[in-house]
Amino acid sequence: MSDQLIGILSFPLLLTMIFLRVPIGLSMFVTGLIGLVLVTDGTQVPFGRLKSETFTTFSSYSLSIIPMFLLMGHFATLGGMSQALFKAAEGWLGHRKGGVAMAAVGACAGFGAICGSSLATAATMGRVALPEMRRYGYDGGFSTAVLAAGGTLGILIPPSIVLVIYAILVEQNIAKLFLAAFIPGVIAALGYVLAISIYVRLFPERGGIMPRVPYAERFASMVKIWPVLVVFGAVVGGIYAGWFTPTEGAAVGALGTGLIAWFNGGLTRVTLVESFTVTARATAMIFFIILGAAFYNGFLALTQVPQGIAEWVGSSGFSPYTILIMILVFYLILGCFMDSLSMILLTIPIFWPVMQGLDFGFVSMVDLHGARAMEALLAVPEMTAQGIEGLLASYRDGVDLTLAQTVQFDAIRVHFDADIVALDGAFQALAAGEELTRDQIRALELRRVNAGALNRINTELIAIWFGILVLIVVEVGLITPPVGMNLFIINAMDRTTKMTATYKAVLFFVASDLLRVVLLVAFPVITLMFITW
């Protein structure tokens, strides 16, 4: 039996163990161990990898961000931030038809910005918002569906634990992934609000209205959410400003939410110990899944299965977008039966080599030359973007340079000590949207404009875009029957509501998610607009 065949046969074994309710981390670990024994014809290599893989995995500095974000979310709950967010949103929206449901979605988005976990967001906001929704006459199935869907915002709106793990798997910048997730996260929240609006118009008897809140109370409720804004601004803003790394930002967030919880009276000696215990248990569970995935993916790499799949896809003749759509559909199906973290850890090492080999044409060599040339020209003293565009416009229109533009051109030539012919040719090429020649590149002293740099840029952009898309379809799995983890968590809080009622109502939010996936696939710029390269 060949190594590749052993690797392929490991998939049904793994899925069988998962469906038999064996913990996912243990399933991947055992499958990887058995596979390594078969591939290496002995136990020496598997046991050797057990020692080295454990150390390599858990000594990763990036993984320390996970317990910090978990602790930050727990402290935020103790500090009453979830209730403050919901009350503020409810005050402004609750008097509208479906307004309390919209407020719940807004509160989930706000809490997700300081939590990073979908399940924690769903459970926390469920305790706060579900009683209010039922009190104002909202249908049970609709109420539970709203909160299950709103909870998924916890893994999309940064910071996100699942996004951190994805960044580690594909070796990309965590801060850039957080930045890329922001706009899709806002679109997700708006999409859910729109879904609520449509639902209550189709089924007006299932949505309630609360009395209008006086403006004085509305503004008073806004004052109470300042801790959320401060923590989010400190963590996310500090990371993007370069004040600290994502891991340090998570620690700052945990400290900040802890101090706020202590100030509000929610953090006592008992709740502090409980917070550490809950965080340690959740971290241990996540880390064991990561270890199992690392062991199993190491076995797959040895069998060359991911590489074989990538080569087959590359020679299949399918277009990059066709392959992407097939992968996303696979995630949607798998999400009906498996939790988000397990899907990411199990599939990314297989699908990422496939995505790396695809050309979506995000950045061409002309784009790269133009961007690097603009950076170089802006480094010239007193040169502005407007002045550069004016020079290029004159070259593009074929008109003589003005006196001021001639002075600018001479300043550029002196700054770079460039040959006038090469510099003139560089401006002609940039104006015409053409690649620069070697002489023109040297004239502007451009760096990082070779094929290798272009490949690295496109790989980074594909990794970020693909990561956000995967995160969204994984998020859909959290509210898709029959597994739908968020559905079970919220439905368990309302024993009077049948699961089938929740299933029916949540389909509106699943439709919103699918439309969002189509939008982000069709327009990658929505995800990548803030990413610099």
| Interval 459-491: pLDDT, tens | 999 999 999 999 999 888 888 877 677 888 888
Q: Three-state DSSP class for 114?
A: coil
Spell out the residues 6+ positions from residue 195 whose beta carbon is closer than 8 angstroms to its own: 149, 508, 509, 511, 512
- Residue 324 in this model has a pLDDT that exceeds 80: yes
> For residue 520, how far is the Cα from the chain centroid?
13
For 259-401, where are the E strands, in sequence order? Answer: none
Does the pLDDT at position 284 exceed 80? Answer: yes
Task: Count CB neighbours of 77 within 10 A.
Answer: 25
Distance CA 427, CA 370 (A): 10
What mean pLDDT is predicted for residues 416-426?
A: 90
Q: How far is CA 305 from CA 10, 301, 310, in A?
A: 11, 7, 9
Predicted confidence at residue 103, as pLDDT, reads: 92
Q: What is the mean pLDDT of residues 339-359?
A: 85
CB 66, CB 280: distance < 8 Å: no
How many Cα neighbours within 13 Å face the side chain of 308?
A: 12
Mean pLDDT of the chain: 87
Confidence of residue 282 (pLDDT cuts 50, 70, 90): confident
Q: What is the pLDDT of residue 59?
A: 80
Does residue 527 carry a pLDDT above 90? yes
SS3 content of the chain, % helix, strand, coil (to 5): 75, 0, 25
Question: In whole angstroms, what is the distance from residue 17 CA to residue 103 CA?
Answer: 41
Task: Tell me what pLDDT residue 82 has.
Answer: 82
Three state DSSP letters for 421-476? HHHHHHHHHHHHCCCCCHHHHHHCCCCCCCHHHHHHHHHHHHHHHHHHHHHHHHHH
Residue 37 has pLDDT above 80, yes or no: yes
- The first and second tokens of residue 85, run together, are 């967010």
What's the confidence (pLDDT) of residue 18? Answer: 79
- Amino acid 202: pLDDT: 93
Q: Contact 291/345 with Cβ under 8 angstroms?
A: no
Q: How far is CA 180 from the centre of its chain?
A: 7
Per residue in 53-104, pLDDT tens? 788 778 877 788 889 888 988 888 888 888 888 888 888 888 888 899 999 9
**Contacts from 9-12 at CB under 8 Å and sequence distance 24+?**
10/34, 10/35, 10/296, 10/299, 10/300
Taking the CA atoms of residue 27, residue 33, residue 39 and residue 41 in that order, the dihedral angle to the nearest 10 degrees is: -140
Q: Are 232 and 114 in contact (CB under 8 A)?
A: yes
High-pLDDT (> 90) share of the chain, % = 33
**Structure confidence at residue 52 as a pLDDT band (50, 70, 90):** confident
Q: Picking from 166-170, 290-294, 340-344, 421-425, which range would have the lowest pLDDT averaged per residue?
A: 340-344
> CA 190, 499, 90 angle in degrees (round to 5)?
35
Dist CA 504 CA 510 (whole Å): 10
- Distance from C-alpha of 462 to C-alpha of 457, rounded to nearest angstrom: 9
**Angstrom distance (rounded) from CA 460 to CA 532:** 10
pLDDT at 137: 86
Helix (H) or strand (E) holding 334: helix 320-334
Burial of 202 (0-12, 13-18, 19+ CB in 10 A): exposed
